[in-house]
């Protein structure tokens, strides 16, 4: 990908630390180690994300998920 800049925006999801690590591994190994990554930790559940329907994402991001 010479001459091109790739920027990936990644939204960190609650409980998704393993998935985030796998995405970073994929980007570094399969795309390019020079890929720019914007890690977004501003996920906030809205009214449709109720505890009954989606308990796994019915919370904000914890600090250990932001900086792991």
Report pLDDT for 2. 58
3-state secondary structure at position 9: strand
Compute CA distances 35 → 10, 58, 64, whole Å.
12, 31, 24
Do residues 37 and 10 make contact, with C-beta atoms less than 8 angstroms apart?
yes
Report pLDDT for 46. 84
Strand ranges, E, within 1-68 = 7-11, 36-40
H-run or E-run covering 19: helix 17-26
Report pLDDT for 67. 67
* Mean per-residue pLDDT pooled into runs of 10, the chain (68 residues): 81 92 96 93 84 86 77
């Amino acid at each position: 990908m010479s001459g091109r800049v790739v920027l990936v925006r990644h939204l960190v999801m609650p409980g998704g630390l393993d998935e985030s690590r796998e995405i970073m591994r994929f980007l570094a190994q399969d795309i390019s180690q020079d890929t720019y990554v914007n890690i977004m930790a501003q996920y906030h559940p809205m009214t449709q994300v109720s505890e009954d329907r989606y308990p796994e994402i019915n919370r904000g991001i914890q600090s250990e998920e932001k900086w792991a």
